[in-house]
Amino acid sequence: MKNMISKKIILFILLSPIFLNGNEVADYKAEYLFETGDFSVTGIRELITDKDNEIASITFNAKTKIIKLFFESSFAINKGSIISKKYIANVRALLIKRNQSIVYDNMNQNIKSSGQNKWDINYADGLNILDPLNAQVQMRLNVKDMVESKKFNSFEIALQDIRNGDVEINTYEFSRNDIYIFNEKSYDESHYSQQASNHIQTDHTSALFSYETLCDQFETVLKDMNEPFADASFFPTSYLSQITKQHVSVALGGDGSDELFAGYPTMLAHKANRLMPLFKTRILKLLYPYIPTRHTNFSLKFKVGQFLKGWGHSNPIQHMYWMGAFNDKEKEHLLDNAKQYSRNLENNIENQYNQYDDSLGVIKGTVQIFLFKFLAI
């Protein structure tokens, strides 16, 4: 048969692949939009299964201004295992047309490709070879099974290179690395709370909000919320309340100090925006894509990205973009009347902001933070 390559991959467990309740595979349809500068790609990925959940197909359509792509994988599902049936790939770009069809004959352990990439291979009995689309479904099934059984063992997937038929054996190992929990030093503020406790001489209790803690209480916390809420701090706050209840029944929270004493980083951004010339902001926008991505709290790329969101807007509105979770295009995908909603929200904030005297700059800034924290999405 063709070349076979082995590779080891580390998987970080996230929430998205876990929730496949009921059937082995849940149907879904997802729309994608990728934009960078003047270049954009739109795509639709859809998974459809039959009533008995034995045969399924997953398709992916994508297009740019000059290229159209179509991929389809047909496969069977047998006791948590994907069995490849057929894979189709079509590419259209101006005068270029490329078609490929791959048929999996599992009875005779043979795979044959026709179209631009022609090849014919036989494979060893017992080897389950997957294509680039259904391999993703197999990974989701494996993750679902391991989360439910709480046995996070490694597993292998034999992935085929559709260009030449080569098979790559990928070994997946799971890591519950501290990158997803508050063990990350840049997120840890426990030393500050300890200093405050030492200063006022109080009994001090610390608790670690970990990835495991989030998973354990995720659905319970969501049920306790009576409306959509975009601030993820609700989860550690809920956990803190549970820990506090073990010691006292009534407690005073520390929320509000950032608002009262202008402690948010957006206050510094407010000053920078007033002092930074227009041409420097444009240079910053050009440099932004090249800033390294870091998973630390308030990384440089995160701060620059948030700052640029508010660039060009009026004084109070820029804070809404700095503190908010979604930009205008993302809101349009989430809300039916996103533009009207944003316009009403901005007018409301402007009216509230203009009620205060210009001489009270710090108070104005504090009022802004309160407004945006509770109104912005």
**Residue carrying structure tokens 């000053």:** 271
- In this predicted structure, the answer to whether residue 114 has a pLDDT above a threshold of 90 is yes
pLDDT in tens, 259-276: 777 777 777 777 777 777
- CA-closest candidate to residue 128, choices 116, 137, 118, 117: 137
d(CA 162, CA 112): 10
d(CA 154, CA 193): 40
Domain boundaries, the chain: 4-175, 178-254, 259-375
- CA-closest candidate to residue 71, choices 110, 45, 105: 45
pLDDT in tens, 22-31: 456 778 888 8
Whole-prediction pTM value?
0.47
Label residue 373 by pLDDT band (50, 70, 90): very low
pLDDT in tens, 205-250: 777 777 788 888 888 888 887 777 767 788 888 888 888 888 877 7
276 class by beta-carbon count within 10 Å (0-12 exposed, 13-18 middle, 19+ buried) = middle
d(CA 30, CA 285): 30
- The pLDDT assigned to 53 comes to 58
The larger pLDDT score, comparing residue 356 to residue 377, is at 356
Question: For residue 71, what are the contacts with CB-CB under 8 A and spacing of at least 6?
Answer: 59, 60, 87, 88, 89, 90, 132, 133
Instruction: Give the SS3 label for residue 130.
Output: strand
